Amino acid sequence: MSNLTVQQTDIPDVVLITPRRFGDARGWFAETYNTRAFSAPLGTITFVQDNQAFSAQRGTLRGLHFQRPPEPQAKLVRVLRGSIFDVAVDLRVGSPTYGRWVGATLTAEGGEQIFVPRGFAHGYCTLEPNTEVAYKADGFYAPACDAGLAWNDPTLGVVWPLAADEAILSDKDEILPAFKDFVSPFRYDPTSAAA
């Protein structure tokens, strides 16, 4: 019996993974990451950095973020407390899903994780107060390569589960550029699952 449930999204390279939980009267145990088990859905990937974010208020929105080459990042995202609506946007020129997005609800209770490959913008909004998010990255943070796109860009048309006036944004995220003016540095490689 597999210790993982893997669910494809409408963008094949973005996958939802739910590790199996083993419970008893004390609570439960789960392997939230195991290189051997995760290699089937993720391919060969080496995570080098773990990040954690706390958001005090419901409606906190972080994104849409990515790192440009030569320091792109793939991410494996999960929720430690609370819940989020998580979004990945395909920025890979030549991809059949270029400019499209997928979203999924991740909860601490359910243990769902989403894999966001290199070449995607990523963002999320909190659905509950006091939400904590953790994610693994396969590249180190590189401030010179840090970039993003507007969370409410009409061309992308992400359907967030909150009204525009409910979104709590950082000053940086308030002024991210539009997708229509974006020249993507990412190229689609159909031979690689994490192109």
Would residue 193 count as lying in a domain?
no
Q: Is residue 155 part of a domain?
A: yes
Looking at residue 1, its pLDDT comes to: 52
Closest among 116, 5, 20 to 63, alpha carbons compared: 116
Question: What is the C-alpha separation between 127 and 10, in angstroms, rounded?
Answer: 22
80 secondary structure, DSSP code? E
The residues facing 52 across adjacent strands are: 134
Q: What is the pTM of this model?
A: 0.93
Q: Which range of residues forms the domain containing residue 164?
A: 4-181
Q: Is residue 141 part of a domain?
A: yes
* Cβ contact 86:153 at 8 Å: no
- Catalytic residue numbers? 65, 135
Domain membership flag for residue 62: yes
Count of CA atoms in the C-beta half-sphere (13 A) of 1? 5
Q: Which segment of 28-42, 69-83, 130-144 scores lowest on mean pLDDT?
A: 28-42
Stated length of the chain: 195
Q: How far apart are CA 68 and CA 26, in angstroms?
A: 45
pLDDT tens for residues 116-162? 999 999 999 999 999 999 999 999 999 999 999 999 999 999 999 99
Domain count, the chain: 1
Q: Determine the number of helices (DSSP H) and then strands (DSSP E) in the chain.
A: 2, 13
Average pLDDT, the chain: 94
- For residue 121, give the nearest of 100, 98, 91 by alpha carbon: 91
Is residue 191 included in any domain, yes or no? no
- Domain of 46, CATH number, reads 2.60.120.10
